[in-house]
Amino acid sequence: DIVMTQSPDSLAVSLGERATINCKSSQTVLYSSNNHNYLAWYQQKPGQPPKLLIYWASTRESGVPDRFSGSGSGTDFTLTISSLQAEDVAVYYCQQYYDTPYSFGQGTRLEIK
């Protein structure tokens, strides 16, 4: 099974500042035949289900603000929020869909400093 590990577990950032969340997979999630990274990011606000933010490691879902961006390849990935807004307080999860069983990172809690 592919193990997803996020860092840090929690993060406090000032409003308007950049937030960076890392995700590392125990094996590559890059499918060489199509050069796609099989990785998604989700945002879970308190009392709500997870919401898809990014898929293919860097493609923003429709309606997601452009301050959210995903990068990385192979085993190392990053979710960046370029200018933190109050509504971005949430727990963020990465998920690999390269192989079943699908697996998620343990989550990173993002708070306002």
Partner 1 sequence: QVQLQESGPGLVKPSQTLSLTCTVSGDSISSGDYYWSWIRQPPGKGLEWIAYIYYSGSTYYNPSLKSRVSMSVDTSKNQFSLKLNSVTAADTALYYCARVVPGPMSGYWFDPWGQGTLVTVSP
Enumerate the β-bridge partners of residue 94: 41
Question: Least CB distance from residue 76 to partner 1, whole Å?
Answer: 19
Burial class (CB in 10 A: 0-12, 13-18, 19+), 9: exposed
Residues 6+ apart with CB under 8 A from 49: none
Of 17 and 65, the one with the shorter C-beta distance to partner 1 is 65
Question: Least CB distance from residue 14 to partner 1, whole Å?
Answer: 26
Question: Least CB distance from residue 24 to partner 1, whole Å?
Answer: 15
Question: Least CB distance from residue 13 to partner 1, whole Å?
Answer: 21
37 to 62, 77, 106: CA distances (angstroms):
19, 10, 19
Of 18 and 63, the one with the shorter C-beta distance to partner 1 is 63
Of 13 and 39, the one with the shorter C-beta distance to partner 1 is 39
Of 55 and 68, the one with the shorter C-beta distance to partner 1 is 55
Residue 69 and residue 55 in contact, taking contact as beta carbons nearer than 8 Å: no
Vertex 51 angle, CA 2 and 15, to 5°: 105
Residues that bind partner 1 (CB under 8 A): 38, 40, 42, 48-52, 55, 61, 93, 95, 97, 100-107
